[in-house]
Chains A and B, each alone.
Chain A
């Protein structure tokens, strides 16, 4: 985490660039997507994608590199619990992902002049989203042995999040297999919850999203604590 002290401006630039470019570009595709419903999908999807990129990708690759360079083994030799290690990595990432999560909401609202409801629920939702993504990244980085394979899998997942998951695309517009897959992915619930929060439609669906997201985070922490391989096979 402290590495950010020296190059924080680069982190900030890159974490802002991607979601802002998405909010700007996606709304201008074809003849333009200017209706509120589409813009909400673009804005919330960009925020989710930003978290996925900063959390999932970075954490997965970081864990993969640590394994490759033998550093995970060093942490394993210290008298710290696995869960403390997992929480430290994930929380450190949370701080870095925050600007990228917030930027599309503010930028989208200002550029497209749409009223978004910045519900207090967003304060809870944003860390939940980040934790979910980081823990998936942690799991991928931990369970896949090769750093190269980690990068391929994570890139594929990110691509899927944009093009074939209910993050930017409404669930009903996806083919059945993708819908089933979508139900298994935390970003689906994060994106849906964020849309509800921004539209001020807090209700059963929103609470269900939050509950599922929380459950997924707890499950992933449990799985990581139980099966994280920082020992040598």
Chain B
């Protein structure tokens, strides 16, 4: 049971776009959404393109009025007083940000000033973020001269200016290389840990985001089809642990060895010497025992035990609509 106070409270939120073209069928982007985000929680919003995630965050930011429903963010009625929300929320949209014709450091400084920081505070935070994100070499370069990845990183830093209590990040790791993606995930985790920042994270990079996400909602066709902690969703979907192993050259599993493994779980084999055993958590111990003692380490070239990932959970929910709630 999570005792933290509620930071974001959404009830029966519905938003429809008017129809276009000949048939003029309206498009329901958000269909009666209800969920809560606790203060200091990292809330992952997952879903395929067109699932309604961006529409939802625009409404959370007060940038779009819903057709029906309620949104409260840190006690602020977002629908009635959308301007108040902007004081406490840092936003990174998918699109590029303005201030392209100024240096990175200056862009951060100005963003801080626009967010109400004093000149000294804005300068200090700009320097701090530049150091922590490792973009010091680019601090005096014009934003429009940056590569796609560096631009995204600079925009991410702009979203953090003013130390907002709530962060809404739409695909923060788009266009970033693996190293910079890690820097971003670590920064989000650190802000959450050290400053108690509440974060709504929209991402398709589910595998990496799993490191920081504490609560998840999976959206499909404008609805939340599943929500809960990553662990709860994995349990619910019955996501299995994978025992992957590869035999050394010339080695092959005997019939009885294969049958023994198949008795513990489902065996897949993509190549003659490569196997993947899908296991229920309670049979993992027996399976590793069988692998070590029956097949033997001497015959193995490589092996690994992979727990179920949030990505598998997401893919499962995305392919078939199921319902589960907190």
Please report A residues at the B interface, Cβ cutoff 8 Å: 2-3, 5-6, 66, 69-71, 73-81, 231-232
Report the nearest B residue to A4, measured CB to CB. Answer: B101
List, sorted by A's number, 18 A–B pairs whose CB atoms are closer than 8 Å: A3-B100, A3-B102, A66-B98, A69-B96, A70-B93, A74-B93, A74-B95, A74-B97, A74-B98, A77-B89, A77-B91, A78-B114, A79-B87, A79-B114, A79-B116, A80-B114, A81-B83, A231-B63
CA A77 – CA B90 in complex, angstroms? 8
Q: Are B96 and A71 in contact (CB under 8 A)?
A: yes
CA A231 – CA B86 in complex, angstroms? 13
B58 at the interface (CB under 8 A from A): yes
Residues of B within 8 A of A3 (CB): 100-102
Q: Are B101 and A71 in contact (CB under 8 A)?
A: no
B101's partner among A6, A76, A81 (CB-CB below 8 A) is A6
The B contact surface, by secondary structure, is: loop
* A2 with B102, Cβ < 8 A, contacts A79-B114, A231-B63 known: yes
Report the nearest B residue to A78, measured CB to CB. Answer: B114
Please report B residues at the A interface, Cβ cutoff 8 Å: 58, 61-65, 82-83, 86-87, 89, 91, 93-98, 100-102, 106, 111, 114-116, 142
Q: Are B86 and A79 in contact (CB under 8 A)?
A: yes
Q: Are B98 and A232 in contact (CB under 8 A)?
A: no
Shortest CB-to-CB span from A55 to chain B, Å, is 19
Q: Given contacts A77-B91, A231-B64, could you give 12 more A-B pairs where the C-beta distance is less than 8 Å?
A: A2-B106, A5-B101, A69-B95, A71-B96, A73-B95, A77-B63, A77-B86, A77-B89, A78-B111, A78-B114, A81-B83, A232-B58
Q: Are B114 and A71 in contact (CB under 8 A)?
A: no
Residues of A within 8 A of B142 (CB): 6
CA A5 – CA B102 in complex, angstroms? 9
Residues of B within 8 A of A76 (CB): 63
Q: Are B95 and A70 in contact (CB under 8 A)?
A: yes
